[in-house]
A and B are shown apart, each in its own frame.
Chain A
Amino acid sequence: GAVVSQHPSRVICKSGTSVKIECRSLDFQATTMFWYRQFPKQSLMLMATSNEGSKATYEQGVEKDKFLINHASLTLSTLTVTSAHPEDSSFYICSAPVAGEYEQYFGPGTRLTVT
């Protein structure tokens, strides 16, 4: 099946700094990617829909100025957590649908810890 990678897999940063997380489709083109956040022992909450070549669509309650999404190519979407705070510590997962397939492919996730 198709592969979606994320980088980094784990990151620890200091409060107030910005962190960039990459989501790549390795063997297919993804005009759309989805970003989810998962707090410990909780479900995945959709944060935003990343659209290649246009602005991301954010879910209600997600601050677009804090979680910057850039989908500059058909294989890469980036999520930048700006001015990170400890409450931003979470597991961030991206996914991408593949044309002609029923399954969406999820990345392995990025665990962000803000100290």
Chain B
Amino acid sequence: GEDVEQSLFLSVREGDSSVINCTYTDSSSTYLYWYKQEPGAGLQLLTYIFSNMDMKQDQRLTVLLNKKDKHLSLRIADTQTGDSAIYFCAESKRRDDKIIFGKGTRLHILP
């Protein structure tokens, strides 16, 4: 079956790194995504990684993928107040296929 799990809350001090973890069950997942949703807003794609990659870095964002353990993480370096949002881990089998979302991790920034 298809299931994506992630912790619901994370509190981080401003300036520290945030690490949001996710596990998925479908071994045929090919595309793994991280989306950001701010209150009352739509979804913003932050980054994605293919299942044949181990790591992807994009400015402050680092995605690590452990395909064997079906574990995905998103690291946000130098966390800022503007990073406060809900972060969704998601997966799909094909580029044009439905996307299965986790429940989202609410990131709270402490001053």
Chain A positions within 8 Å of B, measured between CB atoms, are: 32, 34, 36, 42-46, 49, 93, 95, 97, 99, 101-104, 106-109
Asked if B99 contacts A43 (CB within 8 A), the reply is: no
Tell me which of B13-21, B40-48, B60-68, B70-78 binds A: B40-48
* B96 lies within 8 A of chain A by Cβ: yes
Chain A contacts of B42 at CB under 8 A? 93, 106-109
Asked if B99 contacts A34 (CB within 8 A), the reply is: yes
B interface, over-half SS: loop
Shortest Cβ distance from residue A98 to the other chain B in the assembled complex, whole angstroms: 9
Chain A contacts of B43 at CB under 8 A? 44, 93, 106
Q: Which single residue of chain B is at the shortest CB-CB distance from A57?
A: B98
The list of the 7 closest CB pairs from A to B, nearest first, reads A97-B96, A108-B42, A43-B103, A106-B43, A44-B101, A43-B101, A109-B42
* B88 lies within 8 A of chain A by Cβ: yes
Given contacts A44-B101, A45-B101, A109-B41, 5 further A-B contacts (CB under 8 A): A43-B88, A93-B42, A102-B95, A104-B95, A108-B41
